[in-house]
Amino acid sequence: EVQLVESGGGLVQPGGSLRLSCAVSGLTFSNYAMSWVRQAPGKGLEWVSHITSSGGSTYYADSVKGRFTISRDNSENTLYLQMNSLRADDTAIYYCVPKKGGWFDPWGQGSLVTVSS
Amino acid sequence: EIVLTQSPATLSLSPGEGVTLSCRASQSVSSYLAWYQQKPGQAPRLLIYDASNRATGIPARFSGSGSGTDFTLTISSLEPEDFAVYYCQQRSNWPPYTFGQGTKLEIK
């Protein structure tokens, strides 16, 4: 069974930083591209960032480009999202998801990030 | 960026009824469209991929159809556990991957 366990969320002031981690088990992590998708309270889903299986290529939504950095450690089966210059509109649950067969499946329970003073 | 527009925003139905949800893309996405279900307090779950293929473990009452710009998700007979929010998502032209704004199925 695939498990994705996100951690590192919490309350941070505007302008602050956080690093999210996602520990993956139950699949060969190094074979899968991964994404972060977020969901603001009461809102829909927004794709944030994507990294290829090797980590050689990364992609970002315009809303986070230049502030967020996605990375991975294939030896530790872990995905990361470094978030800098956080703003109130970054408040959301952040999900890490593998791209299986081209689609996001399965999803972890997510990590809540709250940006507030 | 491809915009996905879902309709209606909310549907009120009773268990046992059938329902069709719509997702329209701002340009062709071929068959590169998926549907996800999200229940309150839970993470999304993949239901349908490549427009018409059920994901592993998804009941046969769920079906998807369409190609190009117009897609539908049909639930043949609603079970109590089907009342949730449904999102469509495209991977035809990325980045960015884009999602529709969601359709909420609520119990009448």
Q: Which residues of A touch B89 (CB under 8 A)?
A: 45, 103-104
Residue A9 pLDDT exceeds 90 = yes
Which DSSP helix (H) or strand (E) runs through B21?
strand B19-25
Share above pLDDT 70 across residues of chain B, in percent, rounded to a whole number: 100
- The CA distances from residue A88 to A13, A15, A32, A43, A112, in Å, are 9, 9, 31, 14, 13
* Model pLDDT for residues B13-50, shown as the tens digit of each residue: 999 999 999 999 999 999 999 999 999 999 999 999 99
Show the CA angle centred on residue A84, arms to residues A54 and B45, nearest 5°. Answer: 55
What pLDDT is stored for residue B92 in this prediction?
Answer: 95
What is d(CA B15, CA B60) in angstroms, rounded to the nearest whole number?
16
Contact A35 B32 (CB under 8 A): no
Whether residue B66 is predicted with pLDDT greater than 90 in this model: the reply is yes
Q: Is the pLDDT of residue B85 over 90?
A: yes
Task: Give CA separation, A49 vs A110, B18, B37, B51, in Å.
Answer: 15, 36, 21, 23
Q: Radius of gyration over alpha carbons of chain A, in Å?
A: 13
CB B6 within 8 A of CB B21: yes
Chain B residues with CB-CB distance to A35 below 8 A: 97
pLDDT of residue A101: 83
Q: In this structure, are residues A21 and A7 in contact, taking their beta carbons and an 8 Å threshold?
A: yes
Say if residue A100's pLDDT is above 90: no
Contact B44 A35 (CB under 8 A): no
- Using one digit for the tens of pLDDT, what is the confidence trace for A45-55? 999 999 999 99
Q: Confidence band (pLDDT; 50, 70, 90) for B91?
A: very high
A97-109: average pLDDT: 93
Q: Which among B34, B87, B96 has CB closest to A103?
A: B34
Which pair of tokens denotes residue A25?
A: 């088990």
- pLDDT for A102 equals 86
- Measured between beta carbons, which residues in chain B are less than 8 angstroms from residue A61? 95-96
Q: Which two three-digit tokens encode residue B95?
A: 């980045």
